[in-house]
Structure 1
Amino acid sequence: MLVEECMQVHPRKFIDYDICVMATYTYGSNGALPEEAEDFYFDLEKIYLTGKIFGVLGSGDRIYEKFCPAVDDFDKQFEKTHTTRGAEALKINLSPNEMDKENIKQFAEYLVAAYSKTLGH
């Protein structure tokens, strides 16, 4: 397992792992990607991750018209890498509450189950 900030690693590092997870947040009222994640985002679409499992989760603020669009953006970007979605994108309002923590746990379980299917289990 590797946990890195997107500014410290290139998306090609995902090639070394079977399950790829992106956790992000959405910045501002216009629903922008975090500035520090932009290079990672654009580099991601140039990587082929065939045979890998992915999931995207992140936070946003429901007061804005668009809720967590950075999560959707990264989810679409992963689709371009020829990888397999292991869990539906998970959106969290601000910081995780107890229900969100359970949803994060289930998100992780779905990723592992999707990976296990690739192994024939």
Structure 2
Amino acid sequence: MARILVLYASLTGSTEMMAEAIVEHIQDRHDTVLKTFDFDPIEAKELKAFDGILIGSYSWDDDIPFEVDGFHDDMDEVDLTGKLVGVFGSCDSYYDIYGPALDTMAMKAEKQNGKVYEEKLKIELEPDNKDIEHCKQFADGFLSELTK
């Protein structure tokens, strides 16, 4: 049984819906911890305690949200060798770049020697039922990659 962290930031509740769908889908099969950047204090070094890490964030404009910024910087101190990292979140096609926070977090994980799950799950604004199913498929693919 793998230990999975699902950590997210959500401005409007959309990324939170995605995180909750992922956790509900996998929690019976794996030791799953759900945390938010806003309300659950976590230090980047705590990532070492997990086999798989799923980081969710909303994206707007061209930067990562302020809630995620400090954690992103602290990741410079963490070696993620042997960790699978996936990213997911709510995005808005109104902006020039679609889902930049997810790309930024994936690049940071890769820079820190983490193995980044190939699919970056980007959902347009609030997820509908079809998107929630996609979240579950994303989680299944992530877990399949983790157990290889």
Distance between the aligned counterparts of 1:38 and 1:76, measured in 2? 14
Count of residues paired in the alignment: 115
3-state SS of 1:78 partner:
helix
Aligned to 2:130: 99
- In the TM superposition, residue 87 of structure 1 has moved relative to its aligned partner by 4.1
**Which of the residues 62, 68, 79 maps onto 2:99?**
68
Aligned to 1:57: 88
Amino-acid identity (%): 30
3-state SS of 1:62 partner:
coil
Aligned to 2:77: 46
Distance between the aligned counterparts of 2:112 and 2:103, measured in 1? 15
Distance between the aligned counterparts of 2:118 and 2:98, measured in 1? 19
8 Å Cα contact 1:59-1:92 kept in structure 2: yes
- In the TM superposition, residue 44 of structure 1 has moved relative to its aligned partner by 1.4
3-state SS of 1:95 partner:
coil
Distance between the aligned counterparts of 2:131 and 2:44, measured in 1? 27
Q: 1:34–1:85: structure 2 CA closer, same or farther, 3 Å change rule?
A: same
5+ residue gaps, structure 1: none
Which string of whole-angstrom CA distances, capped at 9 and with x for unpartnered residues, describes residues 39-89 of structure 1?
Answer: 011111321111111100011211121111111111111101211123411
TM-score when scaled to structure 1? 0.87
Aligned to 1:109: 140
Tell whether 2:98 aligns with 1:33.
Answer: no
Aligned to 2:33: 2
3-state SS of 2:87 partner:
strand
| Aligned AA (1:106) | Q
3-state SS of 2:56 partner:
strand
- In the TM superposition, residue 19 of structure 1 has moved relative to its aligned partner by 0.5
Tell whether 2:48 aligns with 1:15.
Answer: yes
After the TM superposition, list the runs of 4 or more consecutive aligned residues in structure 1 that deviate by more than 3 angstroms: none
Distance between the aligned counterparts of 2:100 and 2:117, measured in 1? 19
5+ residue gaps, structure 2: 1-31
